[in-house]
Amino acid sequence: MPTRDVLAWTTLVHGLASSGDLVSARRVFDEMPTRDVLAWTTLVHGLASSGDLVSARRVFDEMPTRDVLAWTTLVHGLASSGDLVSARRVFDEMPTRDVLAWTTLVHGLASSGDLVSARRVFDEMPTRDVLAWTTLVHDAGEEFHLLTALIGSYTRHGHPFEALDLFRNMMKLGVAPDQFTFSSALCSCGAIASVKHGKQIHARLLRTRFNPNAIVISSLVDMYSKCGDLAGGQRVFDLTDAGRMDTVLWNTMMSAAGQHGDGIEAVKMFEEMIKTGTKPDANTFIVLLTACSHSGLVEQGLQLFCSMRKQHGVVPDEDHYVCLVDMLGRAGRLEEATECLREMPCGPSARAWNALLGCLGNNPKRLDRISQANWQILVHLMIVTY
């Protein structure tokens, strides 16, 4: 390339920074004959993304001029690193703010779990009328992503009422939800066992001819199950096209059956799942072992555990052993549960002990079933674990 313009130099800086070669990125930046705001911002972004916030701030302070994107880039870097105090301070110093700047701060606060501050900042946003919102959704999508992120954060951090309230506001503003938004709202309905709200969202899916993916369908099944309507979840599952029947959806339906005490049905579903050629994952066996445990299907549970590695290539981890110990303990087969603790590849964990001790606590007379040798091992392992 005989001559390079500013954009070419900036592209090179970005490529080097993105690959992690910050030394070369800084050297190329220093060699640039002229630099515009985008070039400076690119270096700030590269340094911040690598975690070198001190250098990022120093370069930012050296900038001869700054635009909204430069300010937002620094806010994003600080927020992503968890330094929300500094991120908010920089945000407050911004001479002007656009939707992306507001969105960046709200994302950072929501991701950290500070939903009160995230919602407060969201409510402070100057763009509030319906026309402006819908225009932004179609033009840039930032407001939409902001709403979606907030609803998802409320759901993940155990604030279902707030998530549903925001979802209702979204509907009033005429903003069309996407797959993630519908899934989060349905999860919130399940968390508060509100089949009324869940059915309203389901009705909207049908009325608007929304094309749900497997995650939304799984959320529907889970919502109906947690609201006590297993038949409703089964109807959704049965009406799903074969092409969308992935492992997550099968796991959700099996889990629903297990939660309603029908372990036999969960095992039957697993057999149907295998016949369809759907490959089980680690979570599949957690669901099945839990269902067998709660339904007293010990032999079926043991067979499934043994088949994990041999037939399905799934290596048992701590979660599977905890389920196995719980299943054996609930059935009073404490000798086997103790042996299972000893055989755990990673050693007996506190969670596994809690599972066994929970079974003993429910019926202290079960202690008589443990041999003296295993009792001594049990006490020794407990001391080592804790």
Q: What is the mean pLDDT of each run of 10 residues along the chain (386 residues)?
A: 70 86 90 91 90 92 92 91 91 89 82 78 65 35 62 82 85 81 93 95 93 94 96 95 92 96 96 96 97 95 95 94 91 84 78 73 51 50 48
Torsion angle of C-alpha atoms 252, 255, 257, 263, degrees rounded to 10 = 140
Give CA–CA dist 91/281, Å, rounded: 44
What phi-psi label fits residue 52: left (phi over 0), alpha (psi between -120 and 50 degrees) or beta? beta
Q: Is 194 inside a domain boundary?
A: no
Alpha helices in 50-178 (DSSP H): 53-62, 68-80, 84-93, 99-111, 115-124, 130-139, 142-156, 160-172
Q: Is 259 inside a domain boundary?
A: no
Give CA–CA dist 157/184, Å, rounded: 11
Range of the domain at 60: 1-97
pLDDT value at residue 143: 52
Q: How many domains does the chain have?
A: 1
Helices 22-31 + 37-49 axis angle, to 10? 170
Global confidence as pTM: 0.65
Q: Is 74 inside a domain boundary?
A: yes
Give Dmax (Cα) for the chain.
87
Contact (CB, 8 A) for 363 and 334: no
What phi-psi label fits residue 184: left (phi over 0), alpha (psi between -120 and 50 degrees) or beta? alpha
Encoding tokens for residue 268?
Answer: 């039957």
Give CA–CA dist 286/275, Å, rounded: 20
Q: Is 311 inside a domain boundary?
A: no
Q: Is 10 inside a domain boundary?
A: yes
Which residue shows structure tokens 């055989």?
343
Residue 92 has a CB neighbour count (10 Å cut-off) of 9
Q: Is 258 inside a domain boundary?
A: no
Q: Is 149 inside a domain boundary?
A: no
Nearest to 180 by CA among 153, 203, 143: 153
CATH of the domain at 55: 1.25.40.10
Say if residue 163 is exposed, middle or buried (CB neighbours under 10 Å; 0-12, 13-18, 19+). buried
Give CA–CA dist 239/76, Å, rounded: 43
pLDDT value at residue 147: 66
pLDDT value at residue 291: 96
Q: Is 165 inside a domain boundary?
A: no
DSSP string, 131-152: HHHHHHHHHT-HHHHHHHHHHH
pLDDT value at residue 378: 53
